[in-house]
Structure formats: C-alpha cells, structure tokens
C-alpha cells in the first residue's frame, strides 16, 4: 500500500515531501509560521465542540491556537510557569494534559507537571473559571509520583474513549539501566501505565480504583497499576475505532519500541530492551549486590515493532491516522526525536503483526532542516499535525 517511497523533494516552506506508491504525495508544511513556541510537546482538542487546539509547552504554558494558521497572536489558556518547578528542563516541566470527557458540562481538566523538594511528578485536576480560562486555584491533587531523578518522567495522560478512565504513563525513575529497579515493582508507580476513575473516590484517595484493574487481588500491589515493565513511555494513544492502546517506549542503548498495551501486561524493562535481553542488568544486579530471580520466571509481551540505534535514539509515539489521505489511513504515525525520521506503520490486528512500516521522512531530509518530533496529533478534522520540540508545527498534507 505504502510499500515504496520514491525521491524526496525539498519544497519552499516545507521540510520535505514524499511520493508514495499509492499515488499520493505526502508533504510536511509548516503551520503557524508567525508564532513562536517554547518546547511544544502536545496538542489536545477539548471535547466541547469548540474545535479549539490546545498546545502544551513544556516550559509551562497551555496556548489556544487560533483558527487562522497565519495568525501572529495566541491566547493563553493556562500558565503553570510559577506553579511547577524543575531541576533540569530537558525532561521535566509541564508534560501532560487531558480534558474530562464531560468537559463541556463540568469544566474539568487534568495536568501532569514536575515539582521539587521532594522531586515528584504531580497529577492534578483543575477547573475553568468564569472567563473560560484555567483557574489554578481550583487545583485538586490526585497523585504525587516519586521521581528519583530528573529524567524518565514521561507524563502522557489520556482518557479511554470507551471506559472513560484516566490513563497515566510514568517513567522508570531515571538515570540509566533501570538502576532504581522500579519498573517491575508492583509497589511503585514508576515504569507503569496507571488507570484511575476521576469521577469517584476510593478510601484514602482523591480518585477511584476501577473494579477491573488487574492487580486488585494482590495485597501488596499498587491498585492503580494497569501495565508494567516500561522505561520511558512517550506517545500514548487509544484508537477509538479499534480500541488498541498504542504506547511507544524510549530505549536505552540499542532499540526503540512500540507496544500495544494490554490489561496486566508486562513489557519487560529492565530485563529486556524491546525483544532483546538487556545486557546491562546482570552487571547492575552485581553492582547493587542484589539477587535476581531471573528472566525465566517472567512473562513478557513483545513489542509489535522495534528499530535499532542506526535509525534513531528516542522514539516519539503518535496516533492512528483516520483522516482524508487515503494512503495513510489506518497507519500509525510516529518518529524519532533524535534523528527526525518519521514513519507510517500499518498493523494487521487479525494476523497480530505489522504489515508495513514506511519512511515518510528519511535521513536525506535531515539536511533540509532537523525536526525533533515530540508529538503527532489529529486536529479537529482528524488531520495530522507534527509537533517539533524546537518550536514549530507541521501539517502532513497530500
């Protein structure tokens, strides 16, 4: 379908275009060229019928992007610059935003941000004020997640389109090698996907625990855990059409991976990096003077796709495209933050395997201008917008 990419052409105002075997010409066109953004990383459309595009900047602002993509001004929906605090701004900051499914009725939204002393990630609920903007005085803190280090905070949050629960992606605690050994610990939130009910309260919590969360029968497990064994997940998306839960996980030394998250699933870190044994674990356990029960006792779910360091160093997950470009329909769009490569992946759920993985932006195009993708998001019409951490936004067009 998209099996072959022909010559790549540099076009004025574009970061590149590609001709696909299906006959479609796919190009990346900058939008909002008259606006400046500071480390943007997420774009969320609130479910209120307004079709507003909310752009999250890691440095603390949530902006309302104008409908006119040639505009030179934006409106600020929320300013968290004095609300959060960071040690190192490379991976800490304002990292996640999700609007309540009934936002148009209750005005509730949820934010994941960094705080210090002690170092932690905070998940909070806020409400909009009478002026339609965020009222930070309404904060209701749901979670304070320990973060031993400044890196691997993760922070993608989203509501399940069918169950209405809030899913939270949390990194493994940072540094390297999974040194804190948290991703496999059922007593810790780090290295996990968590799932909570924001519309109820369980004893001792500001939120409810869904009755079908997978570890409720384990008396020493954190009941919020939905899946485990993750390193630094970035790019969380539940496809409303298929129900598949896509989650990219940033690798360490050799491989990047894309997972389909299952209830109670274990994705292997730090026993494995993608489908490969993690060579550093044995040395780490020896250094820590810890006994290892061994990989033989573990059951892991393989990623559906991986790529080696020769292709990239930090995966950015995206979404399954259901827009107007026929050649891209039902393809998962994703990229690599380090190399600027971008792909379209098609997954055959009946066969349980990837049917194709097509490069939309290749190394040859890096010379035209490096892009550091931090997110791939559908706009209000389902068309793809690519977010560049360096402060630009691009639309994928035919």
Q: Over the stretch 81-104, which tens digit does the pLDDT of each residue have?
A: 999 999 999 999 999 999 999 999
- Cα separations in angstroms, 98 against 84, 130, 365: 17, 20, 33
Task: Please check whether residue 99 lies inside any domain of the structure.
Answer: yes
Q: Which of 25, 36, 74, 83 is nearest to 52 (CA)?
A: 74
Block residue for tokens 């891209």? 328
From 132-141, 281-290, 383-392, the region with the lowest mean pLDDT: 281-290
The residues near 26 (Cβ < 8 Å, ≥ 6 apart) are: 17, 18, 19, 20, 325, 327, 328, 360, 396, 397, 398
Average pLDDT over residues 214-222: 97
Task: Please check whether residue 18 lies inside any domain of the structure.
Answer: no
**For residues 77 and 103, what is the distance between their CA atoms, to the nearest angstrom?**
14
Q: State the number of CA atoms in the 13 A half-sphere of 318 facing the CB.
A: 31
Task: Please check whether residue 8 lies inside any domain of the structure.
Answer: no
From 82-91, 123-132, 355-364, the region with the lowest mean pLDDT: 355-364
Task: Please check whether residue 375 lies inside any domain of the structure.
Answer: no
Average pLDDT over residues 151-179: 97
Instruction: Give pTM, 2 decimals.
Output: 0.94
Q: What's the token pair of residue 360?
A: 């939309």
Task: Please check whether residue 233 lies inside any domain of the structure.
Answer: yes
CB 330 within 8 A of CB 346: yes
**For residues 273 and 251, what is the distance between their CA atoms, to the nearest angstrom?**
6
Average pLDDT over residues 194-212: 98
Task: Please check whether residue 36 lies inside any domain of the structure.
Answer: yes
Per-residue pLDDT at 25: 74
Per-residue pLDDT at 14: 54
For position 243, which CATH number holds? 2.120.10.30
Q: What is the DSSP string of 294-333?
A: -GGG---PPPSEEEETTT-SSEEEEEE--SS-GGGTTEEE
CB 129 within 8 A of CB 86: no
Task: Please check whether residue 353 lies inside any domain of the structure.
Answer: no
- The count of domains in the chain is 1
Structural domain of 85: 32-313
- Work out the percent of the chain whose per-residue pLDDT is above 90: 88
Q: Over the stretch 272-281, which tens digit does the pLDDT of each residue have?
A: 999 999 989 9
Instruction: Examine the pLDDT at 230 and tell me if it is beyond 50.
Output: yes
Determine the 3-state secondary structure of 149 from DSSP.
coil
Per-residue pLDDT at 21: 46
Per-residue pLDDT at 65: 98
The residues near 217 (Cβ < 8 Å, ≥ 6 apart) are: none
Task: Please check whether residue 268 lies inside any domain of the structure.
Answer: yes
Per-residue pLDDT at 18: 57
DSSP H/E element including 256: strand 255-260
């Amino acid at each position: 379908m998209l099996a072959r990419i022909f010559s790549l052409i540099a076009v004025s105002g574009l970061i590149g275009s590609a001709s696909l075997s299906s006959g479609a010409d796919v190009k990346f066109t900058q939008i909002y060229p008259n606006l400046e953004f500071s480390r943007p990383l997420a774009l969320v459309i609130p479910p209120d019928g307004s079709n507003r595009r909310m752009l999250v900047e890691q440095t603390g602002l949530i902006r309302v992007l104008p409908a006119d993509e040639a505009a030179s001004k934006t409106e600020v929906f929320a300013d968290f610059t004095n609300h959060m605090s960071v040690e190192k701004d490379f991976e800490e900051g304002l990292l996640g935003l999700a609007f309540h499914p009934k936002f148009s009725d209750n005005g509730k939204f949820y934010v994941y941000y960094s705080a210090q002393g002690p170092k932690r990630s905070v998940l909070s609920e806020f409400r909009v004020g009478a002026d339609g903007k965020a009222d930070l005085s309404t904060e209701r803190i749901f979670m304070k997640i320990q973060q031993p280090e400044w890196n691997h905070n993760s922070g993608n949050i989203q509501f399940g389109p069918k169950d209405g629960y809030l899913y939270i992606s949390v990194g493994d605690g940072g540094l390297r090698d999974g040194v804190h050994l948290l991703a496999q610990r059922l007593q810790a939130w780090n290295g996990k996907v968590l799932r909570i009910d924001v519309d109820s309260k369980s004893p001792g919590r500001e939120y409810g625990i869904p009755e079908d969360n997978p570890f409720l029968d384990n008396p020493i497990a954190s009941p919020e855990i939905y899946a485990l064994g993750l390193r630094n997940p970035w790019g969380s998306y539940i496809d409303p059409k298929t129900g598949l839960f896509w989650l990219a996980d940033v690798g360490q030394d050799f491989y990047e991976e894309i997972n389909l998250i299952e209830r109670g699933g274990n994705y292997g870190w730090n026993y494995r990096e993608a489908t490969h044994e993690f060579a550093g674990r044995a040395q780490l356990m020896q250094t820590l003077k810890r006994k290892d029960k061994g990989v033989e006792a573990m059951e892991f779910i393989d990623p559906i796709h991986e790529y080696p360091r020769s292709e990239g160093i930090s995966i950015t997950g995206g979404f399954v495209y259901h827009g107007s470009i026929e050649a891209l329909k039902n393809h998962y769009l994703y990229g690599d933050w380090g190399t600027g490569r971008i792909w379209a992946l098609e997954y055959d759920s009946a066969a349980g395997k990837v049917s194709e993985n097509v490069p939309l932006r290749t190394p040859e195009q890096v010379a035209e201008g490096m892009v550091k993708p931090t997110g791939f998001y559908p706009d209000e019409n389902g068309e793809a917008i690519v977010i560049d951490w360096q402060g630009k936004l691009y639309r994928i067009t035919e």
